[in-house]
Amino acid sequence: MTRQRKEGQLAKQKTQEYKLSPEDYREILKGVELEELMLDECSAKVRRDRQSGAVSVSVNHKISCETKGENLALITCSYELIASSGLKKDFVLKIICLFKAKYSSQAPLTDDFLEIFIERSVQMQTWPFFREFVQSTTQRMNIPPLTLPLLR
């Protein structure tokens, strides 16, 4: 089964009611293990001729999940950072990363569990890798290192 969450701004987390209780979610989560986390694709482009004045930075993400049996999930999380001083197509900096994570579980990974896990946990586990990638890549590009905020 494959699920895909719509692309969105990181700061916009919707508040919703889930079908699984917090207690049941925590109980299943105890048996979940991150088997692999890998950077699958990446690109970075700087347009030095457009570097002037203040820029705004936006980060969008997209998460999709594919289950393999009832105890294994392959989750893809992509991030796109755009720094621009105007229109996004006139960007100064663009960085794209695609991470793949493989999770196993002692208990079945139900749709109700995965809905919450994708919404609340996957980003918390992949975001630090994207932050580090952005900071080290901008430094190597000989532009001021960009430090992204912590997720809260």
Residue 82: CATH number of its domain: 3.10.420.10
**149: in domain:** no
CB neighbour burial string for 15-26, b if at least 16 within 10 angstroms, e if fewer: eeeeebeeebbe
Task: Catalogue the E-assigned strands of the chain.
Answer: 2-4, 8-9, 32-46, 56-67, 72-84, 91-105
Q: What is the pTM of this model?
A: 0.83
pLDDT of residue 125: 93
More reliable by pLDDT, 105 or 50: 105
Q: How far apart are alpha carbons 113 and 128 in whole angstroms?
A: 23
Task: Give the distance from CA 68 to its chain's centroid.
Answer: 21
**109: in domain:** yes
Structural domain count of the chain: 1
**12: in domain:** no
pLDDT of residue 5: 43
Q: What is the extent of the structural domain holding 57?
A: 2-7+20-140
**13: in domain:** no
- Length reported for the chain: 152
